[in-house]
Structure 1
Amino acid sequence: MLQSIIVYTSLSTFMILCGIVAANREQYKGTTFKLSFFHLETLLPLFAFAVIFGCRYNVGVDYPAYLEGYLYGSDREFEVLFSLVTNGMSDLGIHYALYFFLWAFIEVFLLFYTFRKQRFLFPYIAFFLIFGSYYLSMMNIIRQQLAACIFLFSLQYIDSRKCIKYYLCVLLAFLFHKSALLLFIVYPLFSKKKDWFPQRKFQLFLYLIAVYLSVNYDLVIKLIAAPFSLFTTALGYENYLEGILYNEKLNSVAQFGNNTGLGVYVQVYLSSVIIWYSSRMKEYYNDSFFLIFYSLWFIRILADFVVGDSIILNRPFVYVYNLKIVMLAYFVVFCLRTKQKLPQLIALSFILIHIILFLNVLSNGEINTSMFKFFWQI
């Protein structure tokens, strides 16, 4: 556990410090300058992240399957682009650390590059990425996370109503994970209407319904059985029949690093506070991109409760999973800039809570595969 703490905190600290430098450069240049993303303070932390997780061993539940498939081939048929890169690097005899480096770099690059015009978020994205244990998802469901990071990048084209560029991104995401077909419906939903949840009372109403459904899993299954079967059949996942939703192993998120028990109440606190301040945040940022971002984040929060214990049902919502990292960053920045004591104390509580949850995740590192090892230690 000590090695894990040292590796993760060192990486996070380096990324945060670089993020602060990048944010200060933005402030110095001002909004009238077209500031390039490609500077040492933005690229070095991305390379550091990719090097660390490229050299990891058995971090992420699916790591052994990816490693075995890379070294010895796999019986499964993967999407075209993922298979092309995997087989090409494997045939060339490239070490698997470089293989995992590549995927980690693409994921973290897209995460930060998406917000290249809002560099004030960089230090906080770096903090929550590690201390929120969101990196575990990136290290686990690699194919879909690659698609999800491409989708995150594509949101700017919904805001600017560049339909062709958006769907080219969806096509690219599809070449990594075919469930990206779901993303075709996102553009028409948000190209004209940016804010689907403008009223706080309406959000709280939906939030309470989601909390209720979270303790009535059988009811959720009945409600989604028909569309679930249609979706899995259309994407060629006929083996994911309705009965799989009752498989205890596949419907427990504990092994993927998510907190249970006290962690659930903490998530209620975090999300409900953000909802409470949502109107002020929308007014503060005054940006159509943020409205789209917030709506998708809120959908993810509802999904956390409704399908939170199901690995299978969570798959469609992986595409909005990474928005949680950035929304936390948006919120903390908002609180710190208000110069009011209560929001600043709330921001501090968000940071302290994630440090505690981070230590809690590492304390169960053998179970949730967060315990960090370098490949040369095996």
Structure 2
Amino acid sequence: MVVLYLVSNRMVLSYNRQTTQYNRFSLLNPSSVFFVVFFTLVFAVRYNVGVDFVNYLDEYQSVYKLEYSKNEILYKNIGLFLNSIGAHPSVFFGCFVFLQITFFLLAVKKEIFVLPFLIIFLFANSEIQTWMNIIRSATGMCIWLYAVDFATDRKLWKYVALCIFASCFHRISLAYIFLYPVILFACKIEITRKWQYGIVACAFIVRILFETFATQIIPLVSIFQSILGGENDYYANYDVQTMLMDLDNEKSGTGIAFLAKLIIDLIIIFNSNKIIKFYDSSKFKTYYFLFIVALFTFYCFPDSVISFSRPFRYFYVFRTLMLGYFSYYLYRNRNIGLNGLCLFLISCLYLSLFLFNQVFAKPEFCVWYQTWFNYTL
């Protein structure tokens, strides 16, 4: 995985120079095609990467499970078609990888110069691992991320159309249609640093209350399971006892990584006025607003509490995006104050955490990159 990360980053740096030379982005550009194909092939042939991999594989290989599942229409029919023609499972997984990276590139095309930094944190912040794990949700999220562009430009019907398209892979995308007025509002509002710090503080208060009264929210677990897909979804066996066990497991760690990432989030908030002024666009203001929403929802519910955190996962990508945007800002202003040192420390921290996770992760965490070739051998 480390080699894959280094190769990908080097390749994207070359692609970025070629694209900015013509000051425009196109998916048909040779560099774009190479990047999409390379990315798709690498992750299409993965085997047992992500704890949900076996579930997806089992469902794809069983026509009965696919045909009678309550999964979304496009996800289901892509699987049924590929299964009917005898396609290898890697083709099935590759279709969703292709959609994910294509719509992600379309979403950031206006700031293509930030892409090398985004690639770094897609890996270092485990975003890629999330894409490979919650495939349907990640596919819907990437499509919705591109839709945000149209909402920022006040193109309602294109935004709605993309949300509906995203819902064909993950039904929760339909709920994000109602965020259209929020996105329009986000382009104009200016949240002071005090308010941002207050929002993070409120999130921790909610988190403490949630952990304290977890045993008394049993009915809410059933409600959220219904929203996520009902009894036939992957969360059917996720009950309160499992939730409490996951909470205990999460508390058993040292918390150093959690604290370090929190400090970086607070540093980003501290520099928010400078970053917003640096990018100076309605789209970035929207991204930053959604980043604050992501912080609130992320710190409200422990990530291990799937039934409650999963509906807000679309927002979590903005934490990764903001790391990339902030790092590019620091790079461009590295000779001012402590910006250069800050960039160095953030990069070292996240890359160290990434390497640590790869080296010391247990096999059941399914973070080690391996391919079907390893499996068949």
Q: TM-score, normalised by structure 2?
A: 0.88
Q: Aligned partners of 1:67, 1:250: CA distance in 2, in Å?
A: 26
1:365/1:214 Cα in 2 relative to 1: closer, same or farther (>3 Å)?
same
Q: Aligned partners of 1:281, 1:366: CA distance in 2, in Å?
A: 40
TM-fit CA distance, 1:275: 0.8
Question: Which aligned pairs between 1:328-343 and structure 2 lie closer than 5 A?
Answer: 328-338=323-333, 339-343=335-339
TM-fit CA distance, 1:221: 5.2
Q: Aligned partners of 1:288, 1:227: CA distance in 2, in Å?
A: 36
TM-fit CA distance, 1:247: 2.4
Q: Does 1:217 align with 2:210?
A: yes
Q: Aligned partners of 1:280, 1:203: CA distance in 2, in Å?
A: 15
Question: Which aligned pairs between 1:86-101 and structure 2 lie closer than 5 A?
Answer: 86-101=79-94
State the Cα deviation string for residues 208-255 of structure 1 (Å, max 9, x = none). Answer: 1212333332457599888776565566637879x9345237845979
Is 2:124–2:350's contact at 8 Å kept on the other side of the alignment? yes
Structure 1 residues 70-79 or 125-134, which shifts more?
Answer: 70-79
Corresponding position of 2:29: 39
RMSD: 2.8
TM-fit CA distance, 1:19: 2.3
Corresponding position of 2:17: 24
Q: 2:314 corresponds to which letter in structure 1? A: Y
1:21/1:376 Cα in 2 relative to 1: closer, same or farther (>3 Å)?
closer
Structure 1 residues 142-151 or 193-202, which shifts more?
Answer: 193-202
**1:161 partner SS:** coil
1:48 to 17, 28, 38: 38
Question: Which aligned pairs between 1:94-113 and structure 2 lie closer than 5 A?
Answer: 94-113=87-106
Q: Does 1:366 align with 2:366?
A: no
State the Cα deviation string for residues 64-118 of structure 1 (Å, max 9, x = none). Answer: 0111111123253211111010000011101111111111121112112211121
Is 1:361–1:368's contact at 8 Å kept on the other side of the alignment? no
1:48/1:179 Cα in 2 relative to 1: closer, same or farther (>3 Å)?
same
**2:137 partner SS:** helix
Q: Aligned partners of 1:43, 1:281: CA distance in 2, in Å?
A: 31
Corresponding position of 2:341: 345
Q: Does 1:124 align with 2:114?
A: no
**1:191 partner SS:** helix
Q: 1:327 corresponds to which letter in structure 2? A: M
Is 1:254–1:260's contact at 8 Å kept on the other side of the alignment? no
Q: 1:39 corresponds to which letter in structure 2? A: N
Identity of counterpart residues, as a percentage? 23
Q: Aligned partners of 2:5, 2:339: CA distance in 1, in Å?
A: 24
Is 1:107–1:146's contact at 8 Å kept on the other side of the alignment? yes
Q: 2:158 corresponds to which letter in structure 1? A: K
TM-fit CA distance, 1:22: 3.1
1:252/1:145 Cα in 2 relative to 1: closer, same or farther (>3 Å)?
farther
1:292/1:219 Cα in 2 relative to 1: closer, same or farther (>3 Å)?
farther
TM-fit CA distance, 1:181: 2.1
Q: 1:55 corresponds to which letter in structure 2? A: V
Corresponding position of 1:178: 171
Structure 1 residues 58-67 or 264-273, which shifts more?
Answer: 264-273
**1:340 partner SS:** coil
1:82/1:38 Cα in 2 relative to 1: closer, same or farther (>3 Å)?
same
1:332/1:205 Cα in 2 relative to 1: closer, same or farther (>3 Å)?
same
Q: Aligned partners of 1:49, 1:130: CA distance in 2, in Å?
A: 12
Question: Which aligned pairs between 1:1-378 and structure 2 lie closer than 5 A?
Answer: 8-30=1-23, 34-73=24-63, 74=65, 76-196=69-189, 198-218=191-211, 232-233=225-226, 237=230, 244-248=239-243, 251=246, 261-308=255-302, 309-338=304-333, 339-362=335-358, 363-378=360-375
State the Cα deviation string for residues 167-216 of structure 1 (Å, max 9, x = none). Answer: 00110111111111220221021224425552111000111121233333
TM-fit CA distance, 1:291: 0.7
Is 2:228–2:311's contact at 8 Å kept on the other side of the alignment? no
Q: TM-score, normalised by structure 1?
A: 0.88
Q: Aligned partners of 2:301, 2:194: CA distance in 1, in Å?
A: 23
Is 1:59–1:371's contact at 8 Å kept on the other side of the alignment? yes
Structure 1 residues 160-169 or 346-355, which shifts more?
Answer: 346-355
Q: 1:38 corresponds to which letter in structure 2? A: L
